[in-house]
Amino acid sequence: MQQSDLGLNLTTKRTRKREFLAEMNHVVPWGAMVELILPFAPEGRRGRPPFPLETMLRVHFMQQWFTLSDPAMEEALHDMPLFREFAGLNWNTRLPDETTILRFRHLLEKHKLAAQILEVVNELLRDKGLMLRAGTVVDATLIAAPSSTKNSSGERDPEMHQSKKGNQWYFGMKAHIGADAESGLVHTVRGTAGNVNDVVEGNTLLHGEETDVFADAGYQGAHRRPDAREGVAWHVAMRPGKRAALDKTSKLGQLINQVERLKASVRAKVEHPFRVIKRQFGHVKVRYRGLKKNTAQLNTLFALANLWMVRKKLVVLDGQIRRQTVIAA
């Protein structure tokens, strides 16, 4: 029998997937996340013990990293020894099927654990000094949804909506985020229909401890809204038309333009987590119907994006801690 028939993975090549999973395996706080989920885990049925929570969590995260549906994840576990290895599954034991994978996701959704997973990650990053609390950058991005009515219900998702960006119309939802102004790490996630104006969600994206907020021109007037918080200074970009009309030859015009550039340099950090979930993780379309399920997925994606963005710093910090421990001993 050939090695491939046995499902063995004897290759020594460090592929990009293997390197990626090795890095994420190191930085994800598996113990803390399992402890979070454990109180809600159902008991196994007689004669069929449940899969370990960490195994199911690893499978769930691989779905996010590689844009896999429940059936596609089941097939990948059968086809790819690397994925089984990462999940802690042996080639000669039973593997989670798509129903088991679905039930685990529903468990997370039912108990709203995705937002708590984001908080567990951010608590770790704050403890390591990688996330500060003085400033927040807010922004939103459109996530496309299927506009076709060729489905079981014969209609588009009623919770999604059309939105115009530039001269083009989009159908889907918006992911609104509040990110740390220093690091660009996401601390708050909100999901809405695509037609909800950015400024409506602006103040809901603050964690309550910041003194300064940076935003693009779409958030004009956020500081005057009923839910605005006292003691928070909003640094909102000037509208493009107004900025284009500045007299760049005058000292005042040059000074205003320089201030706008400084504000833009801070706002640019919020684009990094968007790039990670869309380009690194491939999340450019919603996977489920309804805002609740898709917002839960966004919380998980941004939690994993935070870890991805600081993975090298976490490795360095962990190495320093280990060296200090050895010296102290």
pLDDT tens, residue by residue, 179-219: 999 999 999 999 999 999 999 999 999 999 999 999 999 99
* Average per-residue pLDDT for the chain: 90
Handedness of CA 168, 169, 171, 172 (dihedral sign): positive
Do residues 105 and 35 lie in contact, with contact meaning Cβ atoms separated by under 8 Å?
no
Rg (CA), the chain: 23
* Overall average pLDDT of the 40-63 stretch: 86
pLDDT at 1 over 60: no
Determine the distance from the C-alpha atom of residue 179 to the mean position of all C-alpha atoms in its chain, rounded to a whole number: 11
Q: Which two tokens stand for residue 216?
A: 């693009």
- pLDDT of residue 20 exceeding 50: yes
Question: Cα–Cα distance between 195 and 184 in angstroms, integer?
Answer: 25
Give the DSSP H or E segment for 144.
strand 135-144
E strands, 151-273, are: 161-165, 168-180, 186-193, 212-215, 233-236
Nearest CA-CA partner of 59 in 22, 19, 104, 109: 104
Residues 193 and 216: their CA atoms lie apart, in Å, by 20
Mention every residue, 6+ apart, whose C-beta is less than 8 A from residue 77. 59, 83, 84, 87, 89, 95, 96
Question: Is the pLDDT reported for residue 13 higher than 80?
Answer: no
The model's confidence at residue 6, banded by pLDDT at 50, 70 and 90, is: very low
CA-to-CA distance for 60 and 286, rounded, in angstroms?
Answer: 16
Q: What is the pLDDT of residue 93?
A: 82
Rounded to an integer, the average pLDDT of 238-250 is 86
Distances in Å between the alpha carbon of 286 and those of 18, 67, 78, 164, 308?
Answer: 26, 10, 25, 18, 21
pLDDT above 90: residue 91: no
Q: What is the pLDDT of residues 148-182, one digit of tens each?
A: 766 666 688 999 998 888 788 889 999 999 999 99
Closest CA to 97 of 125, 135, 71: 71
Please tell me whether residue 313 adopts helix, strand or coil conformation. helix
- Least confident range from 62-66, 95-99, 249-253: namely 249-253
Give whichever of 121-125, 166-170, 243-247 has the largest mean pLDDT: 121-125
Q: pTM of the predicted model, to two decimals? A: 0.90
Note the pLDDT of residue 46.
Answer: 59
pLDDT of residue 7: 46
Provide the total of helices (H) and of strands (E) in the chain, helices listed first: 14, 6
Per-residue confidence (pLDDT) for residue 132, from 0 to 100: 87
For the cut 60, the answer to whether the pLDDT of residue 88 exceeds it is: yes
CB under 8 Å to 281, separation ≥6 — which residues?
Answer: 64, 65, 66, 67, 301, 304, 305
Query: Which among 295, 272, 280 has a CA at the least distance from the CA of 201?
Result: 295
Asked if pLDDT for residue 3 goes beyond 80, the answer is no
Give DSSP secondary structure letters for 285-305. Answer: B--SSSHHHHHHHHHHHHHHH
- What's the confidence (pLDDT) of residue 243? 85
Question: Between 240 and 55, where is the model more confident?
Answer: 55
Q: Are 40 and 120 in contact (CB under 8 A)?
A: no
| The pLDDT value given to residue 324 | 61
Identity of residue 48: R
**Confidence at residue 2, expressed as pLDDT on a 0 to 100 scale:** 37
User: For the residues 258-284, what does the mean pLDDT come to?
Assistant: 95
